[in-house]
Amino acid sequence: MPYCLGLQTAANAFLSIGFATQFTLAIVLSLIIITISSSFQKDPTDAPAPLPGSSLLHIFPFFRRRFDFLNWGFHASGQNIFRFNLLRNSVIVVSGESARETFFTAKGLDLTEGFKILSGAIPMVRGVTSDLQSRRIHLIHKRLANIQRNAPLSDLMPVLLEDSRQHMKTWGSSGKFDPFEKVYELIFQLTIRSLSCKEIADDPALVAKLKRLYDDLDTGTTPATVLLPWLPTPAMIKKLWSTKAIYDIINKAINEREASGAHHNDTLQMLLDAGDEKLVVVGFIMGLLIAGARATGTTASWMLTFLGGHPEWRSKAAAEVEGLLASMPSSSSSSQPLSSRLATIPLDVWETETPVLDAIIKETLRVAQPHTAMRRNIGPDCYIDNKRIPTGAYVIYPFSDVHLDPELYPDPWKFDPARKEDSNVPFSYVGWGGGKTTCLGTRLAKVELKLVTSLFILGFEHSVIEPSTGEPSNPLPTPNWNDILLCRPPQGSFALAYSRTQVPL
C-alpha cells in the first residue's frame, strides 16, 4: 500500500507541473531508458569494438568536434573500426586501406540513407528532398548530368564570368576581406545561376535572402534537430521556418515562369521543358543549391587563401591562364574586359589544358575538405576487416584517414600541389568521392573554381594578412577539420588583402 501511495503522489506531482517541464522530463527519461537498455545488450564476437563511456556523451562531440572525436575513438578503442550509438542508431566508423576500399565499393552501403540521418543540414521536405522514390532520385541525377553537358556548360560560362565580374566590382579597388564571407557569397551566386533560374539569380536581394535562409539551416542543425526531429525546440522551429521560406521562393519563381510564358536558357527552363513534375523541379533546386554552394564555396575560399599564402603557386596559375589567353586570337586585346577575354577560352581547353589549376584544386580538396562519407547498410549484413556491419547500421569513413595520412602524404598539412598520388594504393585520393559514389556535380564545380580563380588572380593582387596589423600572416591559416562545413579557422584570425591590377575586369 505505501508503494501505491508513493506512486500516486509522484503522479500527482508530475501532472501539477507545466507541460514544458513534463515534456523535458519525458525526453530525459526516454534517453536514460535507451542508454540503460543499450548497455545490457551483449555484443557478438565479430562486432566492432564499442567506445567506452555513455553513448549520450558521444552525441555532442560527434556533431560539434567530429574530427577530434573520431581520432579519439580510434585511440580509445585501439582498433581501426569502432562503434558508438546516436540514441538507437548504431554508427560504425572505419579506417585503413582495406576498409576504405570495401566502404567505397560495397553494394549495400547506401549514400542517400546514410546522409539523411547523420547530416541534417539539407532542407528536408517529404516527397521533395527526402523519402524520394528511386525513380525520382535517378531523374534528379539525370537532370544534373544534362546541365553539365558540353553545350549547356559552354553557354553558362560567359554568364558565370559576368556574375563574377559584377560581384568583384563591389569589392572596390583595394581592401581586405574574409574569404569565407565574400568568396562564399560569390560562389553562392554562381550556384544559384547554374542550378536555378534567371528570376532569382538576377535579383541580388533575393539571392542574399536565400543565402541567409540556408545559413539558418546550418546554424539550426543541432544534435537534437537531427536525432529528434519531432522535438519542437527553438532550433527545429527555426529550421522549419527557413525550409518553408526557401520552398516558397523557389515555388514562386516556378509559378511566375509558367504564368508569363517567358523562355530563358537556364536550369528551370530545362526542367520545365522536360515535363518534370513540380515536386521534382522544386526538390532539384532546393537540395542541389546548398549541396553545390557549400562544397564549392569551401574549396574556392581555401584556394584563394592558399594562393595568397603561396605566391609561387599564384604566379604559376596566373602564367597558365595568361598563356591560355595568348593562344586565343579573339582575346588578345588587353583593352577588352578580362571576363570577356576569359569567356573566349573554350570549355575543352579549360578542362584539358590547365594542369596547374587542376593540381591546385586537387591539393585544396585534399587538405581543406572536412568530409566524412556517410552510408547506411540497407542489407544484407556485410563485413569490413572481419567485423560485421549489420543491416540498418550506419557506416562512416573520415576523409582525413587517407588525405592526412603521412605515409601517403608526407607533411600532410602542407599545401603542395606538386605532390604525386600513389597510384598503387586503392582510393589514395577521394576528393571527389570514390567507387560507386562520386560527386555528380564535379564538372560544374571545377569550371566554377577555375573561372573565379582566374578572374581574381589576374584582376587582383592579394596576400594573407593579420587583420589587426596588416602584416603577413605567420603562420598561415590552418584548415579546421572540426568545422564540418567550411573547415574554417577561427573567425577574425586572418584576412585577404587585395588591390586591383591594371587589367580591367
The CA distance from 503 to 505, in Å, is 6
* Number of C-beta neighbours around residue 228 at 10 A: 16
CB 312 within 8 A of CB 497: no
The CA distance from 291 to 140, in Å, is 13
* Residue bearing cell 507545466: 18
The CA distance from 466 to 468, in Å, is 6
Q: What DSSP string describes 331-392? A: G--TTS-HHHHHHTS-HHHHHHS-HHHHHHHHHHHHHH---EEEEEE-SS-EEETTEEE-TT
* Residues in CB range of 135: below 8 A, 6 or more apart: none
Instruction: At 177, give phi and psi (nearest 5°).
Output: -155, 165
CB 62 within 8 A of CB 73: no
- The beta strands (E) that lie in 73-206 are given as 81-86, 89-94, 109-110, 174-177
Ligand-binding site membership of 439 (annotated)? yes
CB 197 within 8 A of CB 257: yes
Grid coordinates given for 55: 553513448
The CA distance from 131 to 117, in Å, is 12
Q: Which residues are annotated as a binding site for heme?
A: 439
Q: Which residues are annotated as a binding site?
A: 439
